[in-house]
Amino acid sequence: MSLRHALLGLLAHGSASGYDLLGTFQGSLANVWPATQSQLYGELNRLADAGLISVVAEGPRGRKEYAITDTGRAELQRWLTEEEPERNRRNDMLLRVFLLDLVEPAQARAFLDREAALAAERHESLRKLDESIEWDDSPLSRYGRLTLEWGLRATAMHREWAEWAAARIDAGGRRRGG
């Protein structure tokens, strides 16, 4: 149920409409906690029903501006400090590696090459993003930078691993022969 807390967290930084929040989810939050429009509007209504947020203004085109309530802030604090983060262990890519003995070594090698290339691409795109942002001393800037750094390190690690693994497949093939 982290979407709930993501919304509370964003609203804790300032009131906003569903549409505004959607923009954030498709922007800076896309790499951390993506959400679809339908899910978002539904959750906002549920949060309002539960009294964790409330409509503070209505604008043109039916726009509803939400703000976090005291109850909502308390819940957010509780979540941040007391609740253990859910570790998402499912990894489609690793599942495939686990089963990679079912295809020819050349295909396994191609798979890992592709992983390495994609990780490199993703790393580069994060690096550019990092450069393009004007980081300042604001709290959001400080912690946003930490998450981006995680992405940089994760993509670097993934690339190195894939290259190592690809080389190991070649070595394994040779070992079988000799």
Partner DNA sequence: CTTTGATATGTCAGTAGTGACATGTGCGCG
Partner DNA sequence: CGCGCACATGTCACTACTGACATATCAAAG
Strand partners for 16: 66
Closest approach, Cβ 26 to DNA, in A, equals: 11
Closest approach, Cβ 165 to a second copy, in A, equals: 5
Query: Please, what's the largest Cα pairwise distance for the chain?
Result: 75
The one among 12, 22, 100, 129 contacting DNA by CB under 7 A:
22
- Which partner from the list DNA, a second copy, none does 60 bind, CB cut-off 5 to 8 Å by kind? DNA
- How long is the chain? 178
For residue 116, the number of C-alpha atoms closer than 13 Å in the C-beta half-sphere is 14
The amino acid present at 137, given as its one-letter code, is D
Q: Which two tokens stand for residue 170?
A: 């070649």
The one among 9, 12, 15, 20 contacting DNA by CB under 7 A:
20
Please name the residue ranges forming H helices in the chain: 2-12, 18-26, 37-49, 70-82, 92-98, 105-132, 139-177
With binding defined as CB under 8 A, does residue 85 bind a second copy?
A: yes
With binding defined as CB under 7 A, does residue 91 bind DNA?
A: no
168-171 contacts: CB < 8 A, separation 24 or more? 169/105, 169/108, 169/109, 169/112, 170/109
Closest approach, Cβ 60 to a second copy, in A, equals: 30
Look up tokens 């599942």; give the residue: 95
The amino acid present at 32, given as its one-letter code, is V
The one among 46, 63, 128, 168 contacting a second copy by CB under 8 A:
168
- Which partner from the list DNA, a second copy, none does 121 bind, CB cut-off 5 to 8 Å by kind? none
Chain residues binding a second copy by CB under 8 A are 2, 5-6, 9, 12, 29-34, 76-77, 80-81, 85-103, 107-108, 111, 137, 139-140, 142-144, 146-147, 149-150, 153-154, 157, 160-161, 164-165, 168-169, 172, 175-176
Chain residues binding DNA by CB under 7 A are 1-4, 17-20, 22, 34-39, 41-42, 44-45, 59-64, 90
